[in-house]
C-alpha cells in the first residue's frame, strides 16, 4: 500500500474514536459521528483502506450490552458495498462479536484498553495490542499501525475474536475487583487507630510489583468509593450476563457487583454513567 493513498475512516468520535484520530496524524481521515454531516454512504467515494468502528455499547436492563448502533452501522456499510477492513474497537461480548463478524468478510476485533482521562497517551503507549479475526486482515491492520500511526508499542498479538473479548472483559473485571478489595482493606484503617496512615500503607504495598500502583486508591479518581464511570460497571454486568447465559456462575464477580452497587447507589449518577444506562441496583 503506497504511503500517500492511505485513507482512514473513523465511525464514532468519542473517547476511543478521538484517540484513534490522534494516533494517525498523517492519514487522510474521514470522520463520522452522530451529529457530523459525513455519512456512511460518502465512504463509497472516499474508498477507505480501513474503517475503525468506535461506537458506544450501552448497558441493557438485564446487564447485556446493547449493540444496536454497531449493528445498524454494519448493515449500512454492507448496503453501500464498502469493501475494506472493518476494525471494531467497541467492547462487546463473544456472542455479540460472533454475530457482528457475520456482517463483513473483513472483520477485525481490536479491543481498546485506554482510560478516559489519559485516552490518547494510553492508546499510543498501550502495553497490550490484541488483533483478532482473519490472520491476513489482522496482519494488514498491524502493518497500518506500524506504517502510519504514532503508536509506540507495535508488538501486536493475534488471536480469535472470542479470546480477545474475554481478555478485554477479564482485565476490567479484575481491576474493578481490585478496587473493591482495597475499599474493604481501607475499612481496617478507618476502624482502628494505627500509628501509620493509609497513605503509608499504599506507598509501601505498591512496592510489590505484583500489586502495583493502579486501582488501590480509596476513594478513586472520581472522589467516590467503589467503581463507576462509563466502563467498569457496564463491563462487569456484561461479563456476568454472558457467563450466566452459558451456565457459568461468576459468583465472586457477582458479589463484587452487588457490594459496588450498594456503595454507588448512595451517589448521584455521573452523566457518563447515565449515558451508558448504568444501573447501580441489585
Ligand X SMILES: NC(=O)c1ccc[n+]([C@@H]2O[C@H](COP(=O)([O-])OP(=O)(O)OC[C@H]3O[C@@H](n4cnc5c(N)ncnc54)[C@H](O)[C@@H]3O)[C@@H](O)[C@H]2O)c1
Residues of this chain that bind ligand X (CB under 6 A): 11-17, 32-34, 54-57, 69, 89-91, 112, 114-116, 230-231
Contact 131, 141 (CB under 8 A): yes
Report the alpha-carbon distance of residue 241 to residue 62 in Å, rounded. 7
Cβ count near 19 (within 10 Å): 23
Report the alpha-carbon distance of residue 89 to residue 237 in Å, rounded. 19
Q: Minimal distance in Å, beta carbon 90 to ligand X?
A: 3
Comparing CB distances to ligand X, the nearer of 74 and 182 is: 74
Q: Minimal distance in Å, beta carbon 46 to ligand X?
A: 15
Comparing CB distances to ligand X, the nearer of 40 and 84 is: 40
Contact 173, 239 (CB under 8 A): yes
User: What stretch of H or E contains 141?
Assistant: helix 135-148
Report the alpha-carbon distance of residue 54 to residue 109 in Å, rounded. 11
- Which residue matches cell numbers 481496617? 188
Q: Minimal distance in Å, beta carbon 19 to ligand X?
A: 8
Report the alpha-carbon distance of residue 243 to residue 210 in Å, rounded. 27
Report the alpha-carbon distance of residue 97 to residue 71 in Å, rounded. 10
Report the alpha-carbon distance of residue 149 to residue 73 in Å, rounded. 25
Comparing CB distances to ligand X, the nearer of 218 and 231 is: 231
Q: Minimal distance in Å, beta carbon 11 to ligand X?
A: 5
Q: Minimal distance in Å, beta carbon 171 to ligand X?
A: 10
Using Cβ positions, the residue closest to ligand X within the complex turns out to be 14
Pairing mode, if any, of strands 107-109 and 129-133? Answer: antiparallel
Residue 231 falls in the annotated catalytic set? yes
Comparing CB distances to ligand X, the nearer of 17 and 133 is: 17
Give the helix, strand, coil percentages of the chain, each rounded to 5: 50, 10, 40
Comparing CB distances to ligand X, the nearer of 112 and 140 is: 112
The Cβ-side half-sphere exposure at 50, using a 13 Å CA radius, reads: 28
Q: Among the options 23, 84, 138, 231, which is catalytic? A: 231
Q: Minimal distance in Å, beta carbon 40 to ligand X?
A: 8
Comparing CB distances to ligand X, the nearer of 146 and 274 is: 274
- Residues annotated as part of the active site: 231
Amino acid at each position: 500500500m503506497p504511503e500517500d493513498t492511505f485513507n482512514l475512516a473513523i465511525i464514532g468520535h468519542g473517547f476511543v474514536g478521538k484517540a484513534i484520530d490522534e494516533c494517525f496524524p498523517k492519514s487522510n481521515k474521514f470522520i463520522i459521528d452522530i451529529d457530523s454531516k459525513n455519512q456512511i454512504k460518502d465512504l463509497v467515494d472516499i474508498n477507505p483502506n480501513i474503517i475503525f468502528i468506535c461506537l458506544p455499547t450501552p448497558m441493557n436492563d438485564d446487564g447485556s450490552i446493547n449493540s444496536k448502533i454497531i449493528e445498524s452501522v454494519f448493515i449500512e456499510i454492507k448496503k453501500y458495498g464498502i469493501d475494506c477492513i472493518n476494525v471494531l474497537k467497541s467492547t462487546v461480548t463473544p456472542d455479540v462479536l460472533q454475530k457482528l463478524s457475520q456482517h463483513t468478510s473483513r472483520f477485525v476485533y481490536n479491543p481498546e484498553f485506554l482510560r478516559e482521562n489519559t485516552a490518547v497517551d494510553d492508546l499510543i503507549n498501550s502495553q497490550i495490542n490484541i488483533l483478532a479475526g482473519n490472520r491476513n486482515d489482522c496482519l494488514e491492520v498491524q502493518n497500518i499501525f506500524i506504517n502510519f500511526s504514532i503508536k509506540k508499542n507495535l508488538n501486536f498479538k493475534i488471536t480469535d475474536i472470542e479470546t480477545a473479548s474475554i481478555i478485554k472483559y477479564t482485565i476490567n473485571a479484575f481491576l474493578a475487583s481490585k478496587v473493591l478489595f482495597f475499599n474493604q482493606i481501607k475499612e481496617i484503617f478507618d476502624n482502628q487507630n494505627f500509628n501509620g496512615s493509609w497513605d503509608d500503607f499504599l506507598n509501601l504495598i505498591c512496592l510489590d510489583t505484583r500489586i502495583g500502583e493502579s486501582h488501590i486508591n480509596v476513594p478513586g479518581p472520581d472522589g467516590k468509593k467503589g467503581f463507576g464511570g462509563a466502563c467498569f460497571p457496564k463491563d462487569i454486568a456484561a461479563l456476568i450476563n454472558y457467563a450466566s447465559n452459558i451456565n457459568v456462575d461468576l459468583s465472586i464477580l457477582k458479589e463484587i457487583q452487588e457490594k459496588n452497587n450498594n456503595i454507588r447507589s448512595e451517589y448521584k449518577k455521573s452523566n457518563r454513567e447515565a449515558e451508558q444506562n448504568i444501573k447501580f441496583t441489585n
